[in-house]
Amino acid sequence: MFIPQFLTQKVGLLDTPVASVVYDAANATPGSALGRFPQRIDLLNTAAQHFNHKLYWACMTRHPESMPAGLETRLEEEFGSIDEFKAEWERIALAHFGSGWIWLVEHEGELKIITTNNGETPVSTVDMFPCMCMDLWEHAWYADYENRKSEYVKGWWSVVDWDVIWDNVMAAQASASCTVCS
């Protein structure tokens, strides 16, 4: 998936990081060039789904390694233990009805688990920095798991690239907002 060049070029966002395109399209004021752009919602939806899928694939690896000590400490501080973090992630993912995403985000100095519906993404806000996400749309799991969504969610831990997640957490700590992530 890519953002059509003609969309970004028409609104002066060519070569802009995808997260910035999402943020700008989601928060355009009605009188701005982007706010008046008739395909702004198309641009927003395409950019958001591009960002979501890019992060989703980056969060996975064929050769998972152990969790970095810094990430383990941070998750234990925020959630009590790694098992409690995973249980909370699974509970929230399974409670999410319909299409969407589950996220580990940095928000106001804390790690939180949130979900978004359909193609929504936390990068459309200034104060959330996504560190990990998992696709909850049926297309992500139904072919392999049929109606056993819980197996997909529990199986997630066998493919998570903890080094990428830790890099994202560290980048979030160093950033005031996600508008700088690419």
DSSP state string for 106-127: EETTEEEEEEEETT--GGGSSS
Residue with structure tokens 């100095």? 109
CA distances to 11, 79, 140 from 99, rounded to whole Å, are 29, 26, 10
Rg (CA), the chain: 17
pLDDT of residue 177: 43
pLDDT of residue 178: 43
CA distance 6 to 13: 10
pLDDT of residue 21: 78
- Measured in whole angstroms, the distance separating CA 54 from the mean position of its chain's CA atoms is 8
69-180 adopts what CATH topology? minor pseudopilin epsh fold (3.55.40)
pLDDT of residue 167: 96
CA distance 44 to 74: 32
pLDDT of residue 135: 94
Query: So where are the chain's domains?
Result: 5-58, 69-180
- In contact, 78 and 111? CB cutoff 8 Å: yes
- In contact, 116 and 103? CB cutoff 8 Å: yes
pLDDT of residue 158: 96
CA distance 19 to 122: 10
pTM of the model: 0.85
pLDDT of residue 180: 36
pLDDT along the chain (182 residues), means of 10: 57 71 84 82 86 94 95 97 98 95 94 94 87 90 81 95 96 64 46
